[in-house]
Amino acid sequence: MTPSIRKATTDDAGALAALAAVTFPLACPPSSSPQDIAAHLANTLSERHFQAYLADPDVTILVIDASGELRGYSLLVNRPAADRDVVSVLEILPSVELSKCYVHPEHHGLGAAADLMHASLKAAADAGGRGAWLGVNSQNARAIRFYEKSGFRRVGTKSFRLGSTVEHDFVLERAVP
Ligand SMILES: CC(C)(COP(=O)(O)OP(=O)(O)OC[C@H]1O[C@@H](n2cnc3c(N)ncnc32)[C@H](O)[C@@H]1OP(=O)(O)O)[C@@H](O)C(=O)NCCC(=O)NCCS
């Protein structure tokens, strides 16, 4: 059966945390320590955290659902950016943050991520955004290429702390359709 994209519900929190545990490490640079990755998962991507995201009226989570199994998700935050490095470079306002965009590795390269992006940009528009922005690790070449293919362009940089390491993210934005 073809996977479908739908809004997540509170029942998805546990499956989202399990999916995040598989996909978050793929976005980390090779130098990231397993301890830092595990701490980030425990501190921001546990079932409890997804329950809180799902209860937040400013947050939308979309999932790729393949016969009841979650194979990807995106998380949008419809709040003005707080990071000064981001605020200073965004040009298309109001802008919705595409805070997370993760697809299970078995579905990479098959178009599932493009479908998820399409739905995420529509959700950003529905939330009132004129633009969408995201941060992506500067070493995450696959994701950067994917975002460029999806119409994003690089407008700046910001820092991202993973445990004891400060990582450098590119800030990308695009107009929403
Ligand atoms: C980012 C992600 C959603 C993209 O989905 P995907 O199915 O891999 O995307 P696509 O295959 O459509 O596009 C990836 C592109 O990167 C290219 N690519 C793959 N590995 C690459 C590499 N090491 N260097 C440069 N480009 C690379 C692919 O060839 C493809 O480009 P092409 O279509 O021009 O050939 C998915 O890879 C993912 O979930 N990654 C792990 C989590 C992650 O990094 N999320 C982003 C966090 S900001």
Q: How far is the CA of 38 from the centre of ligand 1 (A)?
A: 23
SS3 150: coil
pLDDT at 155 over 80: yes
Atom of ligand 1 nearest to the CA of 108: 7
For 55-98, what is each residue's pLDDT tens digit?
999 999 999 999 999 999 999 999 999 999 999 999 999 999 99
**Can you give the CATH number for the domain in which 100 is found?**
3.40.630.30
Question: Mean pLDDT in the chain?
Answer: 96
pLDDT at 1 over 80: no
Beta bridge pairs of residue 161: 166
Asked whether 22 lines ligand 1 (CB < 6 A), one says: no
Q: Which domain holds residue 154?
A: 4-175
- Note the pTM of the prediction, 2 decimals: 0.97
Closest to 74 measured CA to CA, from 147, 128, 141, 2:
147
pLDDT value, residue 164: 84
Number of domains in the chain: 1
User: How many Å apart are CA 71 and CA 103, to the nearest integer?
Assistant: 6
